[in-house]
Every structure is written in C-alpha cells, then in structure tokens.
Structure 1
C-alpha cells in the first residue's frame, strides 16, 4: 500500500514538473543540439521559436513527457521511498537513525537516490529520446506527426535499440544526478525537522518548494555535461545515410571536445538555471502534498 501511495504521489509530482518545465526544456534541447553559433543565447533561441513556430511550439512533444515523465517520477519516488524504508529498517535493527531509524546517513540517502535514478532510467531513456526528436524536428517539414508516429518509424527502421538510443549515457546521468538530487532534498528536510522539532508533514509547502529548487540546482551542477552528451546522442542519425556523427558515447565526448571546446558542455545552461527552481520545486511540492493527502485518508 505504501508503494501504491508513492507511485500516485510521484505521478502528481511528475505532471507538475512537465507542465511547469516544458517551455524551458525545449529551449535547452534546441541550444544543446544546434550547431555552434546557431543561437546568440537563450533569448535568441526562445525568440526564434516564438517567431517561427508560434507559442504552442514551447509545448511541442509534451504528450510524451506528460505520460512518460509522470511514470518516470512515480517510479523514482517509489524506488526512493522503498530504499529509504529498507535503510530505516536496517538502522532500527542496528540502533541507528533515531527512534525509528528514519534519519538516514548521507551515504544511505545517496544510495537511495541512485536506486531511484536507475529504476526510472529504463523508462526515461526512450521517453526523452522521443521528446527530443519531436522538439528538434523541422516545423515546416516534420519527420514525425507525433510521439506514436515517431515510435513506429524509429522502431521499424532501427528496432528496440533505436528506441533506446543513448541509453548508456542516460543511465549514467540518472544514477549520478538523482543520487545527489535526493540527497540534497532529504538533507534539507532533515535539517528543517531537527531544527524546528517537527514532523515531516508539518514542514511548510513553501519550504518543500525551496528545498526542491535547491536540489534541482545541485542536480544540474552535476549532470549538465552528461545531459548535453545525451541530447547529442539521441538526436544523432541512426546510420551514415541519416547523417550519423558519433560512433559511441565516448566518441561523442571526444568529438564535441575537439570541435567545439569545453563551452559546448555547458550549452543550454541558461534555460536550465531558470527552469530548475520552478520545475523541481513543483515536483516536490506535488509529491509532498499528494503524499500527505493520501496518508490522511
């Protein structure tokens, strides 16, 4: 029953994340995947999208993440909370972690976050691949009419490997990123609870938003270079005929470093810095509020 509640609350957080963060995400992806010099900056990119494709373009490819990221975030939180309960039981048996063992150590929180990232990686990889394909295709002569058309065409030409293109770097991103992401959020929560002598459900919604925003910045400080490589791999062609540039993830890193320099690894940082506090604050607010509601029933 706890897992069902975690999945439901996680879905709420995931939907909130997509609705708030999608416009920023499309700007980030366009900047990460465009040739060097295409955009002068974040505002130039956003202005070009608005002028050439209209305001609805900022929600291009939203259906896939709305369904997929909702599932991803629900899996993340379910795996996180399951791992936290596992470590709490171990702590209780060993006389650690407070009266109920729930005060986890930094290593336990990081491990729980890694488990959450890996658990969700199998879904987030293909979901983000399809989203990025839709976000970066031409508005004049689009290759795909929508997410289902993209899935069918990619699968028919490249099989399941095509759907999971960029999966290795995705798993690296999820494991490292969510390890520090949930560690940061939970440590801030622990500090608030200990300082004020309150229960978790008594932490104010505003603090959940603030802690989520801070955790989001920690996440992106770690994964922005990995995310850029993931975006490059997932928008790369499937064959030489399709314009494939990279033979592997390592080849992608070497090629980008050699041809574009270190600055390419932080391209798209502007929209990330703006998006992160809103999207991640909304994610944790949605999860915490939904959890409290479900636990009160």
Structure 2
C-alpha cells in the first residue's frame, strides 16, 4: 500500500474519533428529533431536558460505541478514498472546486459501504428512551443478524445512506476547500489553526444543508422494526411520502438545528485532528 494512503488512513482515524467524541450529544438529539413518535417531544430543547431528566447525562452518548468502534474504518476509508479520488479526477495537485466536488462525491459513495452499518446501529441505540427493554449494542447487533441477516439487518438502509453520502461529501469538501483557499490568500500556505477550524466548520454546515432530508429518511428506515420492502427507489419514496403525510414539508428537516450546531465543533475538531496528524506523519515519513 502507498505510504501516502497509510498516512491518510491514520490521520482519518484520529479525526474521526475527535468528531464522535465532540459531536455525539447533539447527534443524539438530532436523531431523536427525526425518529421519535409524534408528540413525544416539543423540539430539540425538550429532547435535551427530557433525556437528562429521565435517562441522565450519559444518555446523550447513546450509540457512541458503534461510530467510535467503526469510525477508524469509516473515516480512514473516507479520507483515503478522497485522496485517491482527487488523483483520479486530476493528475495535478491543485483541483478546481468543481473537481473537488466530484472527488468528494466519489469518496462519499465509497464511504457508504462502512457508514451504513455504523449509522444503523447508532440510530437504533439512540432510538431507545431508557425503558427496561432497552438493548445493549451487542444484543442489537445479534438481533439484527439473527432476525434479518446481512442485507436487511446489518446493511439496512445502505442505498439511502449511499444517496445521502454523495451530495453530503461533495458539499463538505467543496465548502472546506473554498474556505481554506480564501484563508490561504490572506495568510499564505501556513494558515493559522483557527482558520482550519473555521474551514472545517463551513464544510460541516455544507454537509447537512446539502443532504439533510435524505438523513431523516435514512434514520427512519434504519429504525423501523421491519426491513424496507421493494426496490430502493420505492421504499425511499414511500418513506418520503410518509414524512410528508405525518409532518408536512417541515418533517424533512426535523432536527436540523442540532445538526448544524453539532457540525461546527465536530467538523472543526475532525479537520484539526486530521491536519495535525497528517502534518506530523508527513514530517515523520517524508510523504
């Protein structure tokens, strides 16, 4: 394996771990806003209050084990796929923003392979509200495998995750690179750390703004007791229509506020950890 790719894998793992630790509480609020039964909560602040009152502070970290265990693979694949995609899109190191968007979309498509099961188990853990019947992650994995197998259990929601990741990472990397280049014009090649954080936050905001309705559909598909029926287009359309029938157009954006708030520190910490680790590895390995 190319040493550059190894460096990308390691740096991506560190960045991903930082993202999970920083962003999990708001991600839990976001997921519960998307999938909770109608009338259970009155907005994100009510979710926070009820979660703390009924389940305690650690409930905000429900489902963290799944992304934390899988984030090394997910983010390693993402950053490595992005680096490889950039080389496929153009032989030149400085890509245009349009080329960055294409490379980001390609990386997102590759990332869906690992992101789908990680997201599915995270969502199912976050969709438990502290009752005596709540399951551990191990029990959830076992039940999904025994009842539904690999395709309808472990990989449930793969195609909607795939559909989400393409615009999400096209927007993510394009916004990040745009912001970073603007800062570079002012500060030169060695932009300050705060500018890297700001650029990462911009990327995080673009991620959700470009893909949020698909994320709502994904969460609902993954949380349902029964697996989706029919072709991916059919069950995605069915879930889309169900959301409109239940909550109207605004239902496609339930939980958007905590997602946007989460994206600022989470994406900033991801890119800061990734860039710092990659710079260290560059100095250590020379590539």
> CA separation in 2, counterparts of 1:267 and 1:253?
13
Aligned mates of 1:12, 1:138 — CA distance in 2: 30
What is aligned with 2:130? 139
Match of 1:204 in 2: 192
Cα distance in 2 between the residues matched to 1:239 and 1:86: 36
Q: Is the 8 A contact 1:110 1:183 kept in 2?
A: yes
Q: Report the count of equivalent residues.
A: 276
Cα distance in 2, alignment partners of residues 239 and 82 from structure 1: 34
- 1:216 maps to what in 2? 204
- RMSD (Å) for aligned C-alpha atoms: 1.6
Find out whether 1:292 has 2:282 as its counterpart.
Answer: no
Q: 2:272 aligned with 1:282, yes or no?
A: no
Q: Extract structure 1 runs of 4+ deviating beyond 4 A.
A: none
In structure 2, how many angstroms separate the alpha carbons of the residues matched to 1:5 and 1:228? 34
Deviations 1:185-227 (A, max 9, x none): 112222333444x33xx12111110001111111111111111
Asked if 1:190 is matched to 2:190, the reply is no
Which position in structure 2 is the counterpart of 1:98? none
Q: 1:260 to 1:192 in 2, by over 3 A?
A: same
Find 1:19's aligned residue among 21, 26, 38: 21
Rate the CA distance shift 1:190–1:86 in 2: closer, same or farther, 3 A.
farther
1:167 partnered with 2:155:
no
Q: Which residue of 1 aligns with 2:87?
A: 85
CA distance in 1, matches of 2:282, 2:205: 29
Specify the structure having the higher radius of gyration (Cα).
Answer: 1
SS at match of 1:253: helix
5 Å-filtered alignment, 1:247-262, equals 248-262=235-249
Q: Specify every segment of 5 or more residues in structure 2 that has no aligned partner in the other structure, as ranges.
A: 229-233
CA drift of 1:69 comes to: 2.2
In the alignment, the residues of structure 1 paired with residue 136 and residue 260 of structure 2 have an alpha-carbon distance, to the nearest angstrom, of 31
The question of whether the paired residues in 1 share the 8 Å contact of 2:179 and 2:202 is answered with no
Shift of 1:235: 0.6
Match of 2:34 in 1: 32
C-alpha displacement at 1:88, in angstroms? 4.3
Residue 111 of structure 2: SS of its match in structure 1? helix
The corresponding residue for 1:158 is 148
Secondary structure of the structure 1 residue equivalent to 2:194: helix
What CA deviation, in whole Å up to 9, does each residue of 1:79-115 have, x standing for no partner? Answer: 11122234442xxxxxxxxxxx322112210111011
- Of residues 135-144 and 70-79 in structure 1, the stretch that sits farther from structure 2 once superposed is 135-144
1:237 aligns with 2:225: yes
Instruction: Tell me the CA shift for residue 233 of structure 1.
Output: 0.5
Hey, what's the Cα distance between the residues in 1 that align with 2:82 and 2:227?
38
Deviation at 1:144, TM superposition (A): 2.1
TM-score, normalising length from structure 2?
Answer: 0.92
TM-score (norm 1): 0.89
1:1-50 CA distances to partner (integer Å, 9 max, x unpaired)?
A: 00000000000110000000000000111110012222111111001000
| CA deviation map 1:223-278 (0-9, x unaligned) | 111110111101111169xxxxxx71110001111222011111001211211100
Tell me how far apart the structure 2 counterparts of residues 291 and 239 of structure 1 sit (CA, whole Å).
40
Aligned-partner Cα distance in 2 for 1:221–1:130: 24
